[in-house]
Amino acid sequence: MKKENHNINLKNSNLKVTPQRMAVLEALNNLKNHPTTENIKEYVVKNHPNIAVGTIYKTLETFVEKGLVKKVKTEKDVMRYDAIIENHHHLYCEDSERIEDFFDDELNNMLEIYFKKKKIPNFKVKDIKLQIIGTFKGNKS
């Protein structure tokens, strides 16, 4: 994703375009595996050695509020972020911190149809995400 797009995304959200925000957006788009704030800091610091860590926290919070990024649910004490906004699911590795994206339109359709037919009493479904837990075969975990 190019700088132009970041620029546009920020403006669309009524956010001032600052070097710090551009840097965090770039980190989010380049880092895989649903980065922690720490991961993002490490990436950003390369080009912006003077950025304050509080700014990164604040920036991420702002981005979540504006819907530019999403938080990823985990059972750990560190927050992780997802630069991909479109609906998708996650593969959680049982023995490492690896979390991969999983896209599957067929699955989404199946679930949509299922829950359209079978209502949940007293609950209005807005979104469904799968946590697919298991292990990655082969390559680096």
State the residues that interact with DNA by CB under 7 A. 10-11, 15-21, 36-38, 48, 50-55, 57-59, 61, 77-79
Examine residue 100 and tell whether it contacts Zn ion (CB under 5 A).
Answer: no
Residue 37 binds a second copy (CB under 8 A): no
Least distance (Å) from DNA to the CB of residue 95?
Answer: 18
Restricted to residues 70-89, the positions that interact with Zn ion (CB under 5 A) are 82, 84
Amino acid symbol at 28: L
Q: Answer for the pair 115, 85: CB distance below 8 angstroms, yes or no.
A: no
d(CA 90, CA 117): 25
Q: How far apart are CA 90 and CA 74, in angstroms?
A: 11
Closest approach of Zn ion to the CB of residue 100, in Å: 8
